[in-house]
Structure 1
Amino acid sequence: MYDDILLATDGTIASENATAHAVGLASLHDAMLHAIFVVDSDVYSAYSGDEYVDEREGPEHGLEEVGEDALAEVRTRAANHDVEVIEELRHGHPHEEIVEYADENDIDLIVLGTRRHPEEYRSLLGSVTDRVVRLADQAVTVVKTEV
Protein backbone atom coordinates (compact mmCIF):
# COMPACT_ATOMS: atom_id res chain seq x y z
CA MET A 1 0.00 0.00 0.00
CA TYR A 2 2.80 2.41 0.88
CA ASP A 3 6.12 2.34 -0.96
CA ASP A 4 7.44 5.71 0.19
CA ILE A 5 6.57 7.34 3.51
CA LEU A 6 7.70 10.84 4.46
CA LEU A 7 8.22 11.70 8.11
CA ALA A 8 8.47 15.42 8.80
CA THR A 9 10.30 15.94 12.08
CA ASP A 10 11.14 19.05 14.03
CA GLY A 11 13.09 17.33 16.79
CA THR A 12 10.55 18.15 19.49
CA ILE A 13 8.52 15.83 21.67
CA ALA A 14 5.64 16.19 19.20
CA SER A 15 7.75 14.29 16.66
CA GLU A 16 8.53 11.31 18.92
CA ASN A 17 5.21 9.51 18.47
CA ALA A 18 5.14 10.42 14.79
CA THR A 19 8.58 8.88 14.35
CA ALA A 20 7.50 5.65 16.02
CA HIS A 21 4.38 5.56 13.86
CA ALA A 22 6.24 6.23 10.60
CA VAL A 23 8.95 3.66 11.37
CA GLY A 24 6.28 1.09 12.25
CA LEU A 25 4.39 1.73 9.02
CA ALA A 26 7.56 1.58 6.93
CA SER A 27 8.48 -1.72 8.55
CA LEU A 28 4.98 -3.16 8.10
CA HIS A 29 4.78 -2.16 4.43
CA ASP A 30 8.46 -2.74 3.62
CA ALA A 31 8.50 0.89 2.52
CA MET A 32 11.27 3.41 2.11
CA LEU A 33 11.17 5.96 4.91
CA HIS A 34 12.08 9.51 3.99
CA ALA A 35 12.81 11.86 6.89
CA ILE A 36 12.86 15.62 6.45
CA PHE A 37 13.81 18.45 8.77
CA VAL A 38 13.28 21.99 7.55
CA VAL A 39 15.31 24.85 8.96
CA ASP A 40 12.67 27.58 9.09
CA SER A 41 14.06 30.55 7.18
CA ASP A 42 11.69 32.91 8.98
CA VAL A 43 13.32 32.06 12.31
CA TYR A 44 16.89 32.87 11.38
CA SER A 45 16.17 35.69 8.91
CA ALA A 46 14.26 37.61 11.59
CA TYR A 47 17.35 37.70 13.79
CA SER A 48 19.98 40.38 13.11
CA GLY A 49 22.84 38.32 14.54
CA ASP A 50 24.84 41.43 15.39
CA GLU A 51 27.01 39.70 17.99
CA TYR A 52 28.01 36.88 15.64
CA VAL A 53 31.23 37.38 13.74
CA ASP A 54 31.36 33.96 12.15
CA GLU A 55 28.21 32.95 10.24
CA ARG A 56 28.60 29.35 11.52
CA GLU A 57 27.87 30.59 15.03
CA GLY A 58 24.50 32.12 14.22
CA PRO A 59 20.98 30.81 14.72
CA GLU A 60 20.91 29.15 11.29
CA HIS A 61 23.82 26.92 12.28
CA GLY A 62 22.14 26.08 15.59
CA LEU A 63 18.94 25.09 13.80
CA GLU A 64 20.92 22.94 11.37
CA GLU A 65 22.46 21.11 14.35
CA VAL A 66 18.99 20.50 15.79
CA GLY A 67 17.96 19.13 12.39
CA GLU A 68 20.97 16.85 12.13
CA ASP A 69 20.26 15.51 15.63
CA ALA A 70 16.59 14.95 14.81
CA LEU A 71 17.46 13.09 11.61
CA ALA A 72 20.06 11.00 13.46
CA GLU A 73 17.38 9.98 15.97
CA VAL A 74 15.08 8.88 13.14
CA ARG A 75 17.96 6.95 11.55
CA THR A 76 18.68 5.14 14.82
CA ARG A 77 15.06 4.23 15.46
CA ALA A 78 14.61 3.06 11.87
CA ALA A 79 17.77 0.92 12.01
CA ASN A 80 16.37 -0.86 15.07
CA HIS A 81 13.49 -2.03 12.83
CA ASP A 82 15.57 -2.71 9.69
CA VAL A 83 13.98 0.24 7.91
CA GLU A 84 16.04 2.13 5.34
CA VAL A 85 15.94 5.93 5.60
CA ILE A 86 16.63 8.74 3.15
CA GLU A 87 17.38 11.92 5.08
CA GLU A 88 16.83 15.47 3.89
CA LEU A 89 17.69 18.75 5.61
CA ARG A 90 16.25 21.77 3.82
CA HIS A 91 15.92 25.50 4.38
CA GLY A 92 12.74 27.45 3.78
CA HIS A 93 9.16 27.52 4.97
CA PRO A 94 8.52 24.10 6.54
CA HIS A 95 5.06 23.45 5.10
CA GLU A 96 6.19 24.40 1.59
CA GLU A 97 9.36 22.30 1.73
CA ILE A 98 7.53 19.26 3.08
CA VAL A 99 4.88 19.36 0.35
CA GLU A 100 7.49 20.06 -2.33
CA TYR A 101 9.63 17.11 -1.19
CA ALA A 102 6.58 14.84 -1.18
CA ASP A 103 5.73 15.87 -4.74
CA GLU A 104 9.32 15.51 -5.99
CA ASN A 105 9.75 12.02 -4.53
CA ASP A 106 6.38 10.38 -5.27
CA ILE A 107 5.57 10.05 -1.57
CA ASP A 108 2.50 7.94 -0.77
CA LEU A 109 1.98 9.09 2.83
CA ILE A 110 3.17 12.04 4.91
CA VAL A 111 3.42 11.53 8.69
CA LEU A 112 3.62 14.52 11.02
CA GLY A 113 3.39 14.98 14.74
CA THR A 114 1.40 17.62 16.53
CA ARG A 115 0.63 18.71 20.04
CA ARG A 116 -2.11 20.80 21.50
CA HIS A 117 -1.51 24.54 21.48
CA PRO A 118 -3.66 27.24 23.06
CA GLU A 119 -6.29 28.71 20.73
CA GLU A 120 -4.50 32.07 20.74
CA TYR A 121 -1.30 30.43 19.47
CA ARG A 122 -3.07 28.62 16.64
CA SER A 123 -5.06 31.64 15.52
CA LEU A 124 -1.98 33.86 15.56
CA LEU A 125 0.62 31.52 14.06
CA GLY A 126 -1.20 28.49 12.68
CA SER A 127 0.80 25.30 12.44
CA VAL A 128 2.96 23.51 9.95
CA THR A 129 0.79 20.42 10.33
CA ASP A 130 -2.40 22.34 9.51
CA ARG A 131 -0.82 23.82 6.41
CA VAL A 132 0.56 20.49 5.17
CA VAL A 133 -2.83 18.82 5.64
CA ARG A 134 -4.45 21.56 3.55
CA LEU A 135 -1.81 21.72 0.79
CA ALA A 136 -0.63 18.15 0.27
CA ASP A 137 -2.01 15.98 -2.50
CA GLN A 138 -0.83 12.87 -0.64
CA ALA A 139 -2.49 11.13 2.27
CA VAL A 140 -1.43 12.72 5.56
CA THR A 141 -1.39 11.04 8.96
CA VAL A 142 -1.27 13.33 12.00
CA VAL A 143 -0.01 11.72 15.18
CA LYS A 144 -1.04 13.61 18.30
CA THR A 145 1.17 13.94 21.35
CA GLU A 146 -0.16 14.96 24.73
CA VAL A 147 2.24 17.40 26.37
Structure 2
Amino acid sequence: MYDAILVPTDGSEAAMDAAEHAFSHGERYDATVHVLAVVDQTESASIVGRGDEKLESLREAGDESTRRIVDEALARDVDAVGAVEVGAPDRTILRYADDHDVDLVVMSTHGRSGVGRFLMGSTTEQVIRDGDVPVLAVQR
Protein backbone atom coordinates (compact mmCIF):
# COMPACT_ATOMS: atom_id res chain seq x y z
CA MET A 1 0.00 0.00 0.00
CA TYR A 2 2.85 2.40 0.85
CA ASP A 3 6.28 2.41 -0.76
CA ALA A 4 7.52 5.82 0.37
CA ILE A 5 6.58 7.58 3.60
CA LEU A 6 7.65 11.15 4.38
CA VAL A 7 8.27 12.45 7.89
CA PRO A 8 9.01 16.18 8.06
CA THR A 9 11.00 17.10 11.16
CA ASP A 10 11.74 20.29 13.02
CA GLY A 11 13.82 18.48 15.61
CA SER A 12 11.05 18.47 18.19
CA GLU A 13 9.83 15.57 20.29
CA ALA A 14 6.48 15.92 18.50
CA ALA A 15 8.26 15.14 15.22
CA MET A 16 9.84 12.10 16.85
CA ASP A 17 6.38 10.97 17.93
CA ALA A 18 5.25 11.23 14.30
CA ALA A 19 8.33 9.28 13.24
CA GLU A 20 7.27 6.41 15.51
CA HIS A 21 4.07 6.10 13.46
CA ALA A 22 6.07 6.26 10.23
CA PHE A 23 8.35 3.46 11.46
CA SER A 24 5.31 1.31 12.17
CA HIS A 25 3.94 1.87 8.67
CA GLY A 26 7.41 1.37 7.19
CA GLU A 27 7.75 -1.98 8.93
CA ARG A 28 4.25 -3.12 7.98
CA TYR A 29 4.46 -2.15 4.30
CA ASP A 30 8.22 -2.55 3.77
CA ALA A 31 8.31 1.13 2.81
CA THR A 32 11.21 3.57 2.77
CA VAL A 33 10.89 6.37 5.30
CA HIS A 34 12.04 9.74 3.97
CA VAL A 35 12.98 12.24 6.66
CA LEU A 36 12.94 15.90 5.65
CA ALA A 37 14.09 18.94 7.59
CA VAL A 38 13.17 22.29 6.07
CA VAL A 39 15.24 25.38 6.79
CA ASP A 40 12.44 27.93 6.80
CA GLN A 41 13.11 30.63 4.23
CA THR A 42 11.92 33.26 6.71
CA GLU A 43 14.76 32.12 8.95
CA SER A 44 17.23 32.11 6.10
CA ALA A 45 16.05 35.59 5.03
CA SER A 46 17.13 36.86 8.43
CA ILE A 47 20.70 35.80 7.78
CA VAL A 48 21.35 38.65 5.34
CA GLY A 49 24.39 40.46 6.61
CA ARG A 50 25.49 37.53 8.75
CA GLY A 51 27.03 35.53 5.94
CA ASP A 52 26.84 31.83 5.46
CA GLU A 53 27.41 31.04 9.15
CA LYS A 54 23.74 31.24 10.12
CA LEU A 55 22.56 29.27 7.09
CA GLU A 56 25.18 26.60 7.79
CA SER A 57 24.08 26.47 11.44
CA LEU A 58 20.44 25.97 10.41
CA ARG A 59 21.43 23.27 7.91
CA GLU A 60 23.50 21.49 10.57
CA ALA A 61 20.53 21.52 12.94
CA GLY A 62 18.41 20.04 10.13
CA ASP A 63 21.06 17.40 9.45
CA GLU A 64 21.10 16.46 13.12
CA SER A 65 17.30 16.21 13.25
CA THR A 66 17.10 14.02 10.17
CA ARG A 67 20.05 11.86 11.22
CA ARG A 68 18.44 11.13 14.59
CA ILE A 69 15.28 9.81 12.95
CA VAL A 70 17.08 7.98 10.12
CA ASP A 71 19.35 6.25 12.65
CA GLU A 72 16.34 5.17 14.70
CA ALA A 73 14.59 3.80 11.59
CA LEU A 74 17.68 1.88 10.51
CA ALA A 75 18.03 0.45 14.04
CA ARG A 76 14.51 -0.94 13.56
CA ASP A 77 15.47 -2.38 10.18
CA VAL A 78 13.34 0.17 8.28
CA ASP A 79 14.89 1.66 5.14
CA ALA A 80 15.33 5.40 5.60
CA VAL A 81 16.90 8.40 3.89
CA GLY A 82 17.29 11.97 5.05
CA ALA A 83 17.33 15.36 3.37
CA VAL A 84 17.57 19.04 4.30
CA GLU A 85 16.07 21.71 2.04
CA VAL A 86 15.56 25.47 2.24
CA GLY A 87 12.15 27.02 1.56
CA ALA A 88 8.66 27.59 2.89
CA PRO A 89 7.96 24.47 4.97
CA ASP A 90 4.55 23.52 3.55
CA ARG A 91 5.52 24.07 -0.09
CA THR A 92 8.87 22.33 0.37
CA ILE A 93 7.22 19.30 2.01
CA LEU A 94 4.68 19.03 -0.82
CA ARG A 95 7.34 19.46 -3.52
CA TYR A 96 9.52 16.79 -1.89
CA ALA A 97 6.52 14.44 -1.65
CA ASP A 98 5.79 14.94 -5.33
CA ASP A 99 9.43 14.61 -6.44
CA HIS A 100 9.90 11.35 -4.50
CA ASP A 101 6.52 9.72 -5.21
CA VAL A 102 5.59 9.74 -1.52
CA ASP A 103 2.47 7.72 -0.71
CA LEU A 104 1.94 9.02 2.84
CA VAL A 105 3.10 12.01 4.86
CA VAL A 106 3.28 11.47 8.62
CA MET A 107 3.73 14.70 10.54
CA SER A 108 3.17 16.17 13.93
CA THR A 109 0.79 18.88 14.90
CA HIS A 110 1.11 20.77 18.12
CA GLY A 111 -2.65 20.89 18.56
CA ARG A 112 -2.96 24.66 18.61
CA SER A 113 -6.42 26.07 18.22
CA GLY A 114 -8.09 29.45 18.04
CA VAL A 115 -5.88 32.51 18.09
CA GLY A 116 -2.68 30.48 18.52
CA ARG A 117 -3.28 28.60 15.29
CA PHE A 118 -4.38 31.77 13.50
CA LEU A 119 -1.26 33.67 14.53
CA MET A 120 1.23 30.83 14.17
CA GLY A 121 -0.33 29.08 11.20
CA SER A 122 -0.18 25.37 10.80
CA THR A 123 2.24 23.70 8.43
CA THR A 124 0.38 20.43 8.88
CA GLU A 125 -2.94 22.07 8.02
CA GLN A 126 -1.43 23.65 4.90
CA VAL A 127 0.01 20.32 3.76
CA ILE A 128 -3.36 18.64 4.28
CA ARG A 129 -5.23 21.41 2.49
CA ASP A 130 -2.86 21.97 -0.45
CA GLY A 131 -1.50 18.49 -1.07
CA ASP A 132 -2.84 15.51 -2.91
CA VAL A 133 -1.06 12.91 -0.79
CA PRO A 134 -2.64 11.38 2.33
CA VAL A 135 -1.44 12.91 5.61
CA LEU A 136 -1.41 11.21 8.99
CA ALA A 137 -1.39 14.05 11.52
CA VAL A 138 -0.05 13.00 14.91
CA GLN A 139 -1.08 15.27 17.77
CA ARG A 140 1.22 15.45 20.71
Please give the TM-score of this superposition, normalised by the length of structure 1.
0.88
Match of 1:9, as an amino acid?
T
Q: Where does structure 1 lack aligned partners over 5 or more consecutive residues?
A: none
| 1:3-55 C-alpha deviation (Å, 9 max, x unpaired) | 11111111112201101111111011100111111100112213554xx4xx2
Match of 1:25, as an amino acid?
H
Highest CA radius of gyration, 1 or 2?
1
Q: 1:44 is paired with a residue of what secondary structure? A: helix
Q: How many residues align?
A: 140
- Structure 1 distance, partners of 2:42, 2:83, is 19
Of 74, 92, 101, the residue aligned with 1:106 is: 101
| Cα gap change, 1:63 to 1:4, in 2 (>3 Å) | same
- Structure 2 distance, partners of 1:139, 1:116, is 19
Matched, 1:117 2:112: yes
Runs of 4+ in 1 over 6 A off after TM superposition: none
Amino-acid identity (%): 34
Root mean square deviation, CA, Å: 1.4
Please give the TM-score of this superposition, normalised by the length of structure 2.
0.92
Note the C-alpha offset of 1:130. Answer: 0.7
Q: How does 1:62-101 map to 2 (within 5 A)?
A: 62-101=57-96
| 1:67-109 C-alpha deviation (Å, 9 max, x unpaired) | 0111111111101111111211100001001101111111110
Specify the alignment match of 1:129 in structure 2: 124
Q: Where does structure 2 lack aligned partners over 5 or more consecutive residues?
A: none
